[in-house]
Chains A and B, each alone.
Chain A
Amino acid sequence: MAIAHQFGYLKPSTLRETVKTLARYGTRARVLAGGTDLISLIAENVIAPDVVVDIKGMPGLDRIEFKNGVLTIGALVTFSDLRDSPVIAKKFPVIREMTGWLASVGIRNRATMVGNLCSAVPCCDSGPVLQVYDAAVLVAGPAGRHRVPLGDWFVGPRQTVLKRGEIATGVAVPLPRRKHAACFVKLRRYEGEDLAQASVTVLALAGSRYRVSFGAVAPRPVRGTKIEALLDGRPLSETLLRQAVALLPEEIAPITDIRATKEYRMQMVGVMLERGLRAAAARLAGNGPAYGTSLI
């Protein structure tokens, strides 16, 4: 729809310029990368920035690099880039798996993973997946550069820890040293493009260690630390899986909204957790379903 609100448009060509601009305008500025979230927020009068700062002119942010065991995804890397990346397909296949159920091609060609993290919507898909890798968001600001572990990144719905003048320049994802496999399960209302009603990500590491995270069932992505502790070092069994599922009410707090009831979310996360654990373990053992196969 025609945007009635008028705003300025800036396209800095260096990180320094970007940080200065953001520091200057504070909350009156909004960062524009893919725009798939920002533009409709402005068009629907949810936000009214004075200035939009297009970061697509900054060099070096569109790279996917794997060096010294760490995957660095720049702020301008789109979900399509992630989908097409050989290193991600090989070393972080669950990231690729996640992108397959995110929106559709036309959106993925523009939407960025870092943008998805910055939107901080409770149903965000990137957050829970990166969380099992103990990833960290790379931030640049007036005080210099620093990293924010993903567990600290989300403050609440549409709120991150970014301070005035700061911008996320990328995300660093360490490759676990042990042999591992993972699984991303997303509950949607149908097979077409949909926001997550709930999501479960499982990372299975050699030695029966697990990292589990949940999306869209709390104000932000959460790690299931109690479940992880329960499973640690123990081979999966029917009993253990039941016990893990029984811990869910202590880990997540789903709500009833227009997309699902809390009862359905709770019930389904249990099913997804069980199937996700089995699939991740099977993949680790070399006989699991191919990445991209839906478990639900």
Chain B
Amino acid sequence: MTPLKFVGTSPRRIDGLEKVTGAATYVDDIPFGPNLLHAEIVESPFAHALIERIDTSAAKKIPGVVCVVTGKEFPYRFGLYMQDRFIFPTDRVRFVGEQVAAVIARDPQTAKRAAKLVKVVYRELEPVLDLEQALRVNAVLVHPDLGNYTRCPWFFPQAGTNIAHRRKTRKGDVEKGFREADAIFEDTYTVPRYAHCAIEPHVIVGLYDLSGRLTLWSASQSPYTQRNVFAQTLAPLGLTHKDIRVVTPYVGGGFGGKAGVSMEIIGAALAIMVKGQPVKVRWSRAQEFYNTYQRQGVIARIKLGAKKDGTITAIEHTLHWDAGGYVEYGANVVNAVGLSATGPYRIPNVKIDSVCVYTNLPPGGPYRGFGYSEFHFGLESHMTGFAQKLGIDPVEFRRRNAIREGDTLAYGAEMNPNGLREAIDRVAAEIGWGKKEVSPDPRKAIGKGFACFWKAPAMPPNAASAAFMKFNEDGSLNVSVSGMEIGQGYLTVMAQIAAEILTVPVEKIRIESPDTDRNAYEWQTVGSHVTWGCGNAVQAAALDVRGKMFAVVERALGFARDTLYLEDEKVKCRARPDFALPLRDFVISGIQTPHGNFIGGPILGSGVFMPEFTSALSDPETSQGGHPNVHYTVGAAAVKLEIDKQTGKMRVLKATLAVDAGKAIHPELVRGQIVGGMVQGLATALYEDIRYDLKGKLLNANFTDYKIPTAMDTPLEIVPIIVEVAQPDGPFGARGIAEHTMIPAAAIVANAVEDAVGLRLKTLPITAEKVALALAGIAYDDVKGAYMGLCFAGKPETYAFCTNAARRSR
């Protein structure tokens, strides 16, 4: 096998030059001329209220105001997996800050002034801000019409309740499994909401031109999915996909927050109202916090049973999710967890209940990890706690139970090849597991925390990728795909895959940013799946192109195509060592035969990849029978933490994470995801802290009081480790890794704190404040006079995990 020349190397990113010179264009940078209109949103001050009346007359009179729009003009529902959301609601508002109307004006200042004059009369309803209350019989309902919502077939809402979806997984017999156990350990863990905080806010410009064509320039991870949702939602106006075009330039960070459709639908709707003129809707930082997807909060109860030797016999994992006022995307987070909340372990008896609960808080949705970051906190804290109870080393406990290739997953399918054992061993070695370290400062304690992790992309079973390729006269290549460069380095990785097959160097390959009119299809850039899915499509397209080149050479010059190969941008022939035809000589112009005529013409190719082995259909009571997840990426992580026992302040001395990338196409980019993901994950553990007031209003919708890491907050040392156990159906063996690097962070911190000072904290974030006061034995009101990000006012241990509202609906 020839050694790889491009895959497995770390070339310069192909978008690097644009980004370092300020040439990179984002949606808000695109000039739209003097007719660009600006929108300002009128927002609900209430978490839950009926809309009685909207009076736009005063606003409309302001000079410079072009139009004021409410739900009356767009009484349409939309949503990715369930249509429970409105462009502008007509009936009621469901979270503080929800859009109720929009003013479109010639300049932003006028729009702002006029928006203040829109009068909305509300009738306040009792807000659902507590999970236990949400789940009671006779609870106030956030969506009384839940039973009528269109949804994908593998979601199970319970009409007449606040349960939007429930994923039940049953494998084996947990009661038997617990009986067989020598020890059982049960506990409750709580994780609040978190905000993505991509530095670029959401923004969209829409133009419904005079010919009736709607174009959107959108800062999105998902141009084709956006087009699809826009087409479905605006169908009543006579628009279909051919009438809609979505263009996405560089995106300034996504992390899941720019997936699906959230505020972008407003841009599409407003454009229709001002035919012939472009209109921009740009979110402020505050709106980024309270009116885009948030990472959902969850309370989880975990019960594990194991034999004396540490073999786990059963797991019962119940998760109640604070999913917000709309769950059209968030319900899939709940679903994904319901299938995988065993963690990367071989457990014969499994009972998982993952319940998606409507609340009057911002809509929950996808955030790096897609529910796995949320549940790993509890699970990996629990694994370490249980190991200690069993008297077994926490790393050894995980080794013994680590899932292996071929093992049966919770829903019946088989586990893919994976390097979990190798990841565990290498991380344990790197962090010096087993060696207790002592700080020279007597006031400080050093602890180490360990966790495993896994995740599969949560996608519909037909999530497809496609690629077109064409050459240019200089032998350079254009690849047209619709995956998004959101920073992960996707463009470069696609170029490397094409380069490897076509021997065209990466610098001569352009990967075009998406335009649904011109680029090949991609479902969404989410789930850490595009290296795998789109990479496969690019590989297929490259092979298609190569095949066509060889066919042309065979036709024109008579060489048998199976003797042909590519090297250094030339077609060569094993039977004719002196033959070397540079690609640039024929990829446009064709090959001239000895007779003088030309054979061939422009070389073009295409490739498609769609997993054909997945299915979301399964027994709704057990989840058995389907194959909903394409494969899992696994890994392990550890942290060495130094804690000042008086102040509670924690310093990350060292963090290390190993992820099984299958094949690291660009090792430096993989290491970059490990560093970036770890820093983002550690922040959720240590200081990111969403706070609502008792009426559901987000109190810290800014970076002054929602702290995200600065350059001063990075660990002293981060050691990335790449494991490579090939993914058989991945391009060159690759699978995705980019969400995974954040997933174990909160658990390793919790485990390190316990190791250092004997404190087991089961509620995030684990702030210096919590640690200091716990160590000093000082009781305090940890909701600080306002709610935490978690939608439950009581102490987690008292949460009832009762869904008797569900009982009512039967």
Chain A residues, CB < 8 A from B699: 258
Q: Are B782 and A261 in contact (CB under 8 A)?
A: yes
Q: Are A190 and B713 in contact (CB under 8 A)?
A: yes
Chain B residues, CB < 8 A from A267: 772-773, 776, 778
Residues 231-277 (chain A) with a chain B CB within 8 angstroms: 256-264, 267-268, 271
Query: When A193-B710, A271-B646 are in contact, do A259 and B780 touch as well, CB less than 8 Å?
Result: no
Q: How far is the CB of B132 from chain A (nearest CB, A)?
A: 24
Interface string of B280-295 (1 = CB under 8 A from A): 0000100000000000
Residues 688-718 (chain B) with a chain A CB within 8 angstroms: 691, 699-700, 704-705, 707, 709-713
Interface size on B, residues (CB 8 A): 38
Complex CA–CA separation, A262 to B773 (angstroms): 11
Q: Is B769 an interface residue (CB 8 A)?
A: yes
Query: When A260-B769, A271-B646 are in contact, do A190 and B686 touch as well, CB less than 8 Å?
Result: yes
Q: Is A296 an interface residue (CB 8 A)?
A: yes
Residue from A189, A193, A263 within 8 A of B773 (CB atoms): A263
Chain B contact residues: helix, strand, loop or mixed: loop
Q: How far is the CB of A161 from chain B (nearest CB, A)?
A: 27
Residue from B107, B712, B780 within 8 A of A264 (CB atoms): B780
Query: When A256-B784, A264-B773, A267-B778 are in contact, do A192 and B709 touch as well, CB less than 8 Å?
Result: yes
Q: Is A229 an interface residue (CB 8 A)?
A: no
Q: How far is the CB of B473 from chain A (nearest CB, A)?
A: 47
Complex CA–CA separation, A232 to B110 (angstroms): 62
Q: Are A192 and B647 in contact (CB under 8 A)?
A: no
Q: Is A143 an interface residue (CB 8 A)?
A: no
Q: Is B241 an interface residue (CB 8 A)?
A: no
Q: Are A264 and B704 in contact (CB under 8 A)?
A: no
Could you say which of A1-9, A52-60, A134-142 contacts chain B? A1-9
Closest to B693 in A: A258
Chain B residues, CB < 8 A from A191: 710, 712-713
Q: How far is the CB of A287 from chain B (nearest CB, A)?
A: 17
Q: Are B707 and A271 in contact (CB under 8 A)?
A: no
Q: How far is the CB of B764 from chain A (nearest CB, A)?
A: 15
Q: Is B785 an interface residue (CB 8 A)?
A: yes
Q: Are B767 and A189 in contact (CB under 8 A)?
A: yes
Residues 105-137 (chain B) with a chain A CB within 8 angstroms: 107-110, 112-113
Q: Are A258 and B705 in contact (CB under 8 A)?
A: yes
Q: Is B801 an interface residue (CB 8 A)?
A: no
Chain B residues, CB < 8 A from A259: 705
Closest to B708 in A: A192
Chain B residues, CB < 8 A from A65: none
Q: Are B284 and A1 in contact (CB under 8 A)?
A: yes
Complex CA–CA separation, A4 to B776 (angstroms): 49
Interface size on A, residues (CB 8 A): 25
Q: Are A268 and B647 in contact (CB under 8 A)?
A: yes
Complex CA–CA separation, A218 to B713 (angstroms): 28
Q: How far is the CB of A196 from chain B (nearest CB, A)?
A: 12
Q: Is A195 an interface residue (CB 8 A)?
A: yes
Complex CA–CA separation, A104 to B785 (angstroms): 30
Q: How far is the CB of B521 from chain A (nearest CB, A)?
A: 37
Chain A residues, CB < 8 A from B155: none
Chain B residues, CB < 8 A from A228: none
Q: Is B402 an interface residue (CB 8 A)?
A: no
Complex CA–CA separation, A190 to B679 (angstroms): 13
A residues bordering B, Cβ < 8 Å?
Answer: 1-4, 104, 189-195, 256-264, 267-268, 271, 296
- What are 14 inter-chain pairs, A to B, with CB distance below 8 A? A3-B109, A104-B710, A189-B687, A190-B710, A190-B713, A191-B710, A194-B707, A256-B785, A258-B700, A259-B705, A260-B784, A261-B781, A261-B782, A268-B772
Q: A2-B112, A192-B711, A195-B704 are in contact. List 14 more A-B contacts (CB 8 A).
A: A1-B284, A3-B109, A4-B109, A189-B707, A189-B767, A190-B712, A192-B709, A192-B712, A194-B707, A258-B705, A264-B772, A267-B778, A268-B647, A296-B647
